[in-house]
Structures are given as C-alpha cells and as structure tokens.
C-alpha cells in the first residue's frame, strides 16, 4: 500500500466524516494519520493500528468506511 492509495481512500470518505485520527501501516512502517475537513497529514510513529472516525451519524456509513480502510490494517 502507498500514500497514494491512502489519499484515494480519504477522498472517498463519506461527507458524514469530518475528523479521523489513528495509526495505520503503509509498507513496513506505522504512521499516525490526522484528517480534518479534507486536509490530512502523516507522521511516522509506532502505535496500535486503530482508526477513530468522528462525524455526524458516522455509524450509517460504517460498512463503506470499513471497506475503504480494510487494507491499511
């Protein structure tokens, strides 16, 4: 997986998600991902691979979100 793949996933996020934070794995490295209102950043950092999605009624889009990010676990 690449940062380009990640960017593609972030562009496909449902509009219900306005904040995302957590650790993902790209290749052999772990990163802290921060996403707010369409802007995002990565910092190389070890941590538990887990993402938290914040927004309005995010649960209704849970299946779509899980499919988008399944490959980053």
pLDDT in tens, 29-52: 999 999 999 999 999 999 999 999
Q: Reply yes or no on whether the pLDDT at 72 is more than 90.
A: no
- The contacts of residue 73 (CB under 8 Å, 6+ apart) are 24, 25, 49
Q: Mapping DSSP to helix (H, G, I), strand (E, B) and coil, where does residue 25 land?
A: strand
With 0-12 / 13-18 / 19 or more C-beta atoms within 10 angstroms meaning exposed / middle / buried, residue 55 is middle
Q: Give this prediction's pTM.
A: 0.87
Please say whether the beta carbons of 40 and 34 come within 8 A: yes
């Amino acid at each position: 997986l690449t940062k380009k793949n990640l960017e593609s996933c972030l562009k496909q996020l449902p509009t219900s998600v306005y904040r995302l934070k957590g650790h993902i794995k790209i290749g052999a490295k772990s990163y802290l991902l921060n996403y707010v209102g369409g802007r995002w950043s990565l910092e190389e950092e070890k941590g538990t691979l887990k993402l938290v999605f914040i927004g309005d009624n995010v649960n209704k889009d849970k299946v779509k979100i899980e499919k988008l990010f399944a490959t980053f676990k």
